[in-house]
């Protein structure tokens, strides 16, 4: 599964870890995260993230 990085603060969303504090279970693909989820560090939305290569 692809990792995604917040272009504003550098937070990396790793689907293997998820975001338990944000209610996102481990194993959740970035594409499957609800649209109202925000970066746990800076609070920006999913549109601030880019897929890491």
**Do residues 38 and 45 make contact, with C-beta atoms less than 8 angstroms apart?**
yes
Binding-site residues for Fe cation, in ranges, read: 6, 9, 39, 42
Question: Which among 14, 38, 34 has a CA at the least distance from the CA of 26?
Answer: 14
CB count within 10 Å of CB 13 equals: 24
Binding-site residues, in ranges, read: 6, 9, 39, 42
């Amino acid at each position: 599964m692809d990792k995604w990085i917040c272009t504003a603060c550098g937070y990396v969303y790793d689907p293997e870890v998820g975001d338990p504090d944000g209610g996102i279970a481990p194993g959740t693909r970035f594409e499957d995260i609800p649209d109202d989820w925000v970066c746990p560090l800076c609070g920006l939305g999913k549109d601030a993230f880019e897929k890491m290569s």
